[in-house]
Structure 1
């Protein structure tokens, strides 16, 4: 295990935000709720493909285009353009998972610097954190829109390290996505996987340094490993 991290980097979509209400958005336009997961997976796939080919797409633009493809030919309650707008607006209306506010506050009080690194927009994080009263816990809200590529490309994590002025080895990435954990580990970050669903971790990815079932468990996990708090 490396030295204790001083900076904790949070993924946002699904890690901090509860995306389960997106299924309702799909049913409201006349589509199946199950399409919500397929849509998000398609969005990520295409964003990853652009990154692998040397590009850097915009989350909202890819999301809207993916929706047009998935909803095309479906008998909707709205016209296609309105349906896409209605579903995409749901991303800005999401709320935090219940364990997030207390977990974030505890990590901040323990002395860690907190930042986000999202493949989406920083505006989504702003809207999430404001009502919960935790915006002030974060030093910076970072997006790959300002980086050379999406996560899990190494350049995304290098961008975050440069933005906060620290070495990647002193950072810990917190995410629910094993692909993000793997990418961060390959970029020399420490990693913590939030496994709220009790799912098995894919053996083909680098394993996380820490596994917790809720963010509120992470301060104790880090404290037990480091002897209490971040290195300075």
Structure 2
């Protein structure tokens, strides 16, 4: 599948794609848990959300995040509620990756529209973009809270296209660090870019991305070259 010279709309994932989760380990430790628990906690949160979605539910990111932290903290800390809130506050205040601000500036300089689509709350994305200094460049911060289902259900991507007035899914490109997100968007008809900052292997079981890039700046450069 060949990309057009420039997508009409670039849809950016938020959690891990824009936000840097690396400070969460220290936040877990400060809250009375173990530093190494941060990554499996987030992966488990997504797993349970996907399972609930497959069962027909429409879970709240905030409620899932809080309850999964309470489960981990149960019997281990004196005040599980305080522990959960301390970690959630860290989640809400995560920094952007270093390439995010320049990447979004470069994308919008190409003349394409840029929006975000997150499984988390829109307010979290808005705050993150504000910390990056590019909130004014992002047209909309979309959340699956307003969609029929979580990503990677195809309805979530189609909801974003409908909200942005894009009738042809092929005119939009989703950029994400998660192969499952790339796979879902591809199956919904969007063009895709896998943001691989770590030099990882893309799983063969997922639908391949149209582009593999090392950063959002690299994405803008690749689109400009086309």
* TM-score past 0.5 threshold: yes
In structure 1, how many angstroms separate the alpha carbons of the residues matched to 2:95 and 2:64?
22
Q: How does 1:49-128 map to 2 (within 5 A)?
A: 49-74=51-76, 76=77, 78-128=78-128
Q: How far apart are 1:2 and its partner, in Å? A: 4.2
1:182: which partner in 2?
Answer: 183
TM-score, normalised on structure 2?
0.96
Counterpart of 2:164?
164
Counterpart of 2:205 in structure 1 is 204
Determine the C-alpha separation between the residues in 1 that align with 2:25 and 2:37: 7
- Contact 2:100/2:132 (CA < 8 Å) preserved in 1? no
Cα distance, 1:6 vs structure 2 = 0.9
Aligned counterparts of 1:31 and 1:55: Cα–Cα separation in 2: 29
Corresponding residue for residue 218 of structure 2: 217
Which runs of structure 1 show a deviation greater than 6 angstroms over 4 or more consecutive aligned residues? none
Deviation of 1:46 (Å): 1.0
**1:136 corresponding residue in structure 2:** 136
Q: Where do 5+ consecutive residues of structure 1 fail to align?
A: 226-232
Aligned counterparts of 2:75 and 2:209: Cα–Cα separation in 1: 41
Report the Cα distance in structure 1 between the residues aligned to 2:204 and 2:97, rounded to whole angstroms: 27
SS of corresponding position for 1:34 = helix
Query: Of 9, 15, 18, which residue of structure 2 is paired with 1:16?
Result: 18
- Residues in 2 aligned to 1:190 and 1:173: alpha-carbon distance in whole angstroms: 6
Contact 2:28 2:87 in 1 (8 A): yes
Q: How far, CA to CA, are the matches of 1:208 and 1:131 in structure 2?
A: 29
Taking only aligned residues, the RMSD between alpha carbons, in angstroms, comes to 1.0
Look up the SS of the partner of 1:116 in the other structure. strand
Corresponding residue for residue 228 of structure 1: none
Q: Which runs of 5+ in 2 are unaligned?
A: none
Where 2:35 maps in the other structure, the secondary structure is coil
Provide the aligned length of Structure 1 versus Structure 2: 223
Structure 2 counterpart of 1:230:
none
What is the TM-score of this pair, normalised by structure 1?
Answer: 0.93
Distance 1:91 1:18 in 2: 10
2:181 and 2:161 mapped to 1: Cα distance? Answer: 15
Q: Tell me the secondary structure at the aligned position of residue 189 of structure 2.
A: coil
